[in-house]
Structure 1
Amino acid sequence: MIDIHCHILPGLDDGADNPEETIQMCRLALAEGVTAIFATPHLFQEMFSTDRELILSVFERTRNLLEEEGIPLKLYPGSDLHLVPDLPERFAQGKGVTLNHGKYFLLELPSRVLPKNLHGLVFDLISNGYLPIITHPERNLPILRNPSILLELLSAGALCQITAMSVTGEFGKESEWFSRALIEAGGVHFIASDAHSTGWRNPSLLPALKVAENLVGRETARRFVVDHPEIVLAGGEIEAAVVEAFPRRKRFWFF
């Protein structure tokens, strides 16, 4: 399996605290059958002072550390890009960190209020050859209330990544229901750990994969953690999601 979203680089954001925790996270991932991880620290998030140069520098040090420790896990560069008003301009200036320096990138939307020009920003990025992977929409309040926001982004060519812990219910019933319904509706391209530590948010994929297999079968579930990540690495094309109907729950409870 390949994990495309993991905050495994030490000391950059709210992920691994130090190199020792990074090594422990890698070993946990290997034990579940993960063979490669995209290191994706937050970028363009005002809480963290990360930039392209710092991320790539820490990435190289971390990859060298894994080699020195004899850990047989492949590490690829990336970032968890936050949607900012001038994101297309920052890409044009070479400030972004895409997945393995290719055309795919993780895009985290604001969790409470979405910009009115959301679709315009995403369309600009796609028009310039970048393919956004919308991260954990099942944990995004506006999308939970109005799934058509996500479906319109998918129709425009964006892709979708849900979090493993959402699928298994560890982020609550609403995220669990939404992520599973989205899998069954055909709107999911990736399941990733979005791991931040060796504790509660650890790099576990296997339990979520088993749930997905029960929902849509082994072949389709494999695409989320093997086939599609391999296409990302190869710079190939992933088939767009076509979601004709998405069920709605009668009521959501938010705390």
Structure 2
Amino acid sequence: MKKRKDYWQRMKEIYDIHTHIIPGVDDGADTLKTAKKMIRREYADGVRTIVLTPHFRKGMFESPMTKVQAGYQKVQELAAELAPDLQVLLGCEFHVNTEMVQMLKHGERPTLNGTSCVLTEFSQLHTFQFIENSCHELLTNGYTPVIAHAERYPTLQKNMDYLERLHDMGAYIQMNADSISGADGLRMKWFCKKVMKRDLLHFVGSDAHNMKNRMPQMGRCAEYMEKHMGRDYTKQILIRNPKKMLRKTVR
């Protein structure tokens, strides 16, 4: 236990850019009590910047922005009570639809902390051509897609060259902490390691939804990454890259 505690003391500037902590707006935290527990866990794991990214998906998750903003304010207050050095920002996990660009232009859903970057979600049934075309549309309209949990899409799992094409065209790649550390299974862990070895990963997010089966575990991921990829790489992905992205100094 002492070894793990010492580790968190050394790595305590981590960014978590993908979370579902705002209560009652999607399938994430159900109450403020749960949100508070999630924030405490993040802080204990060395996270100092959390981006709240509630789902937006037509016909499934369409909470009004007034409700999202009110929830965001409450989570900010919880974070301020916990620690003065904990920063909480707002974004959205936007499931791709034909009106996505127009909705972003009209401010109907937020980008990541007001930057040009959009946490972009696809379906497991989407083809690579659809994913590529959607990313191209965002890019040509001034937005940078951050592909949410890219390791989950079968078309990318089957052909890593597709992932490299998305990377090269200007999209960012985000993978989930539990996928990297092995909490989501050995097959996912193996795939994520290949992605990191090919230097295709930009960001990691916990994609945390609760404190039961989908809790935030950024610390476990950081420890795994440092062991297998080195400390400098780990700091690049968990600290330096998201810091630059959220300050709008992308690419």
Same fold per superposition (TM over 0.5): yes
User: Which among 68, 77, 81 is matched to residue 90 of structure 2?
Assistant: 77
How far apart in 1 are the matches of 2:118 and 2:217?
21
Aligned counterpart, 2:220: 207
Amino acid across the alignment from 2:39: C
Unaligned ranges ≥5, structure 1: 239-255
User: Which among 149, 157, 165 is matched to residue 178 of structure 2?
Assistant: 165
Amino acid across the alignment from 1:47: M
Instruction: Give the SS at the match of 2:213.
Output: coil
Contact 2:127 2:155 in 1 (8 A): yes
* 1:36-77 alpha-carbon deviations (Å, 9 max, x no partner): 10001101243222243432232123213433x344421100
Instruction: Give the SS at the match of 1:107.
Output: strand
* 1:79-113 alpha-carbon deviations (Å, 9 max, x no partner): 11111122222222222211111111211111223
Give the percent of matched residue pairs that are identical in Structure 1 and Structure 2: 29
1:119 has 2:132 as partner: yes
Contact 1:52 1:97 in 2 (8 A): no
Q: What pairs up with 1:108-187 in 2 under 5 angstroms?
A: 108-114=121-127, 116-187=129-200
Aligned counterpart, 2:39: 26
How far apart in 2 are the matches of 1:216 and 1:28?
24
Aligned counterpart, 1:9: 22
1:41 has 2:54 as partner: yes
Contact 1:134 1:159 in 2 (8 A): yes
How far apart in 1 are the matches of 2:64 and 2:57?
8
Q: 1:155 to 1:58 in 2, by over 3 A?
A: same
1:222 has 2:235 as partner: yes
Aligned counterpart, 1:253: none
- CA RMSD between the two structures: 1.7
